[in-house]
């Protein structure tokens, strides 16, 4: 019985000693945390466990003095922003003491189970102007070192278009960089990877994206077009070897036709086929070779309308033969677009010839514009605008009915002149017309019933 009591007494004594020891340890630690921070305490992510307030202040100052932001760039290069360069400091304002006061020494055990009262974010102060100036000094922002990002490109080959990879470049978005650096400083981070935090300006599209593949297919469709223009016996071909020079990718990464380049090419192509106003070599009935310019006769292609039609053909990838859209046409293609049907008026000799399909239909003397009154009929090659039966010609001082009216140059035309009994010679010098071609009745009649709209009228001295 006595042994049992001794054993129980020893157990109780041991428990008392153990609890007393624990209590002593507890209060010893309580006394320790009267002046020291809890285990796990952090200020600005810096571990300040078991340090006094004064030690923390010195630790934070030391940390600031050595603090550097390492900026990792593409290509393995690293640049730095140092705390001294930007006037970095902490504005604790007595907060360390308040932070310590929140940590009741009697509750030190709770630090193992809760993060409450274990973390503090100190206010970081720096000179924004100095920070921006130091960022501007970074070599990665030096314009001479910057490679601009570029979207995928497209190269024309004899086998069609191929996609050229995009260029990532190394251009940095300054606003993003500034934002990431300031946040890193506020969090006390010492490294920023510009790639990971998204500071680089990226191309919007890649060579593997569907938009790039679609563009390639569109380009190849466009250059598969072949347009053959017919000009009488001549042909002009526009195919992929030419069309590719007009194709480009716009700012929205869409395939478009460069209308300026296209227009320059079309003007050059059609230059020899637009003959209005060009100087022509003409062999007169009397056998003299003369050069005649001016007048409105000839071919004139509607470039604007033709480009609209051409672009539609290209966009549909068609192969087609066609004539261009004309503003006006002539009677023949080739170097001699006058052809073999025309009216020839020799105003020096006051004589007219009318040929139709190389056959002389009629000829005769005429009276042209009055030389003495400065009404000389202009020389040039013109088109017959229309013909009208029983017209009345009017002017400032006249109103004259005629039976056959055939205008070719504004108010100037061929017509009968029943009031005259003589034609030819030098009548035009003193008693000529107001510019019209006064003709004998039968001459005007024969021309009227054999001529058609658009027939060239050749006037020369």
Q: Do residues 117 and 38 make contact, with C-beta atoms less than 8 angstroms apart? A: yes
CATH classification of the domain holding 349 = 2.40.440.10
Please tell me whether residues 371 and 426 are part of one structural domain.
Answer: yes
Task: Find the mean pLDDT for residues 114-123.
Answer: 73
Q: Is 436 a catalytic residue?
A: yes
Task: Find the mean pLDDT for residues 242-257.
Answer: 97
pLDDT at 92 (0 to 100): 59
Question: CA 344, CA 366: separation in Å to the nearest integer?
Answer: 12
Length of the chain: 461
Which one has a higher pLDDT value, 92 or 420?
420
Which one has a higher pLDDT value, 200 or 115?
200
Task: Find the mean pLDDT for residues 213-220.
Answer: 98
Element (H, E) at 360: strand 359-365
Residue 24 has pLDDT above 70, yes or no: yes
Please tell me whether residues 324 and 352 are part of one structural domain.
Answer: no
Please tell me whether residues 318 and 355 are part of one structural domain.
Answer: no
pLDDT at 387 (0 to 100): 98
Please tell me whether residues 122 and 229 are part of one structural domain.
Answer: no
* Mean of per-residue pLDDT scores for the chain: 91
Task: Find the mean pLDDT for residues 160-164.
Answer: 97
Domain C-terminal end among 88, 122, 143: 143
pLDDT band at 175 (very low <50, low <70, confident <90, very high): very high
pLDDT band at 31 (very low <50, low <70, confident <90, very high): confident
% of the chain at pLDDT higher than 70: 97
Q: Do residues 324 and 310 make contact, with C-beta atoms less than 8 angstroms apart? A: no
Please tell me whether residues 347 and 324 are part of one structural domain.
Answer: no
Please tell me whether residues 382 and 407 are part of one structural domain.
Answer: yes
Q: For residue 177, tell me if it sits in a domain.
A: no
Question: CA 165, CA 149: separation in Å to the nearest integer?
Answer: 11
pLDDT at 5 (0 to 100): 67
Element (H, E) at 305: helix 303-316
Question: CA 438, CA 424: separation in Å to the nearest integer?
Answer: 10
pLDDT at 115 (0 to 100): 74
pLDDT at 288 (0 to 100): 97
Count of domains for the chain: 3
Q: Is 36 a catalytic residue?
A: no
* End-to-end Cα separation, the chain, in angstroms: 161
Domain C-terminal end among 143, 175, 200: 143
pLDDT at 2 (0 to 100): 56
Q: For residue 183, tell me if it sits in a domain.
A: no
Domain C-terminal end among 143, 170, 202: 143
Task: Find the mean pLDDT for residues 412-420.
Answer: 97
From the number of C-beta atoms within 10 Å of its C-beta (0-12, 13-18, 19+), residue 302 rates as: middle
Task: Find the mean pLDDT for residues 420-436.
Answer: 97
304, two tokens: 């604007």
Q: For residue 173, tell me if it sits in a domain.
A: no
Question: CA 170, CA 220: separation in Å to the nearest integer?
Answer: 32
Q: For residue 363, tell me if it sits in a domain.
A: yes
% of the chain at pLDDT higher than 90: 72
Task: Find the mean pLDDT for residues 16-20.
Answer: 79
Please tell me whether residues 358 and 420 are part of one structural domain.
Answer: yes
Q: What is the DSSP string of 287-301?
A: S-EEEE--SS-S-EE
pLDDT at 26 (0 to 100): 78
Q: Out of 140, 199, 436, 459, which one is annotated catalytic?
A: 436
Q: For residue 58, tell me if it sits in a domain.
A: yes
Q: Cα 441 vs. chain centroid, distance in angstroms? A: 64
Q: For residue 376, tell me if it sits in a domain.
A: yes
Q: Is the dihedral of CA 109, 110, 112, 117 positive or negative?
A: negative
User: Of 112-126, 275-289, 408-422, where does mean pLDDT reach its minimum?
Assistant: 112-126
Please tell me whether residues 370 and 347 are part of one structural domain.
Answer: yes
Please tell me whether residues 310 and 383 are part of one structural domain.
Answer: no
Q: Do residues 200 and 74 make contact, with C-beta atoms less than 8 angstroms apart? A: yes
pLDDT at 66 (0 to 100): 82
Residue 266 has pLDDT above 90, yes or no: yes
Q: Which of helix, strand or coil describes residue 11?
A: helix
pLDDT band at 90 (very low <50, low <70, confident <90, very high): confident
The dihedral over CA atoms of 59, 60, 62, 64, expressed in degrees to the nearest 10, equals: 160
Q: For residue 193, tell me if it sits in a domain.
A: no
Q: For residue 439, tell me if it sits in a domain.
A: yes
Question: CA 166, CA 160: separation in Å to the nearest integer?
Answer: 19
pLDDT band at 60 (very low <50, low <70, confident <90, very high): confident
Please tell me whether residues 46 and 73 are part of one structural domain.
Answer: yes
Residue 327 has pLDDT above 60, yes or no: yes
User: Of 76-80, 98-102, 432-436, where does mean pLDDT reach its minimum?
Assistant: 98-102
CB < 8 Å & 24+ apart, contacts of 385-390: 385/413, 385/453, 386/453, 387/448, 387/451, 387/453, 389/448
Please tell me whether residues 317 and 346 are part of one structural domain.
Answer: no
Task: Find the mean pLDDT for residues 57-68.
Answer: 78
CATH classification of the domain holding 261 = 3.10.20.800
Residue 182 has pLDDT above 80, yes or no: yes
Domain that holds residue 442: 342-460
Please tell me whether residues 404 and 309 are part of one structural domain.
Answer: no
pLDDT at 1 (0 to 100): 55
Q: Out of 36, 140, 199, 415, which one is annotated catalytic?
A: 415
């Amino acid at each position: 019985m006595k042994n049992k009591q001794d054993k129980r007494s020893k157990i109780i004594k041991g428990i008392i000693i153990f609890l007393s020891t624990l209590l002593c340890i507890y209060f010893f630690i309580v006394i320790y945390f009267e002046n020291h921070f809890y285990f796990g305490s952090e200020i600005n992510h810096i571990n300040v466990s078991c340090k006094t307030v004064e030690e923390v202040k010195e630790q934070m100052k030391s940390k600031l003095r050595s603090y550097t932001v390492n900026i990792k760039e593409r290509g393995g290069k690293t640049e730095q922003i140092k705390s001294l360069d930007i006037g970095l400091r902490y504005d604790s304002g007595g907060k360390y003491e308040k932070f310590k006061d929140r940590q009741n020494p009697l509750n030190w055990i709770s630090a193992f189970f809760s993060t409450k009262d274990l973390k503090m974010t100190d206010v970081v102060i720096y000179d924004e102007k100095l920070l921006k100036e130091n960022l501007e000094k970074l070599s990665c922002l030096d314009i001479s070192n910057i490679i601009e990002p570029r979207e995928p490109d497209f190269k024309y080959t004899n086998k069609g278009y191929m996609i050229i990879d995009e260029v990532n470049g190394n251009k940095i978005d300054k606003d993003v960089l500034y934002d990431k650096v300031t946040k890193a400083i506020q969090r006390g981070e010492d490294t920023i990877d510009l790639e990971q935090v998204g500071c680089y300006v990226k191309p919007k599209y890649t060579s593997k994206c569907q938009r790039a593949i679609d563009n390639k297919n569109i380009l190849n469709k466009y250059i598969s077009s072949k347009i053959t223009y017919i000009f009488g016996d001549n042909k002009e071909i526009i195919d992929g070897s030419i069309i590719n020079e007009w194709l480009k990718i716009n700012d929205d990464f869409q395939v478009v036709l460069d209308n300026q380049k296209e227009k320059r090419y079309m003007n050059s192509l059609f230059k020899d086929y637009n003959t209005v106003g060009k100087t022509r070599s003409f062999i007169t009935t009397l056998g003299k070779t003369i050069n005649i310019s001016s007048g409105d006769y000839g071919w004139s292609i509607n470039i604007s309308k033709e480009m609209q039609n051409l672009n539609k053909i290209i966009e549909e990838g068609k192969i087609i033969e066609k004539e261009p859209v004309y503003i006006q046409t002539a009677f023949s293609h080739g170097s001699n677009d006058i052809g073999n049907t025309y009216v020839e008026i020799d105003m020096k000799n006051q004589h007219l010839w009318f040929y139709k399909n190389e056959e002389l239909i009629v000829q005769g003397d005429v009276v042209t514009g009055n030389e003495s009154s400065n009404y000389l009929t202009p020389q040039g090659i013109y088109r017959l605008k229309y013909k009208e039966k029983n017209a009345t010609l009017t002017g400032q001082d006249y109103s004259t009915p005629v039976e056959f009216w055939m205008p070719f140059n504004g108010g100037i035309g061929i017509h009968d002149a029943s009031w005259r009994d003589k034609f030819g010679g030098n009548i035009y010098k003193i008693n000529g017309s107001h510019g019209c071609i006064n003709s004998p009745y039968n001459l005007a009649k024969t021309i009227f019933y054999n001529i058609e709209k658009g027939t060239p009228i050749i006037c020369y001295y």
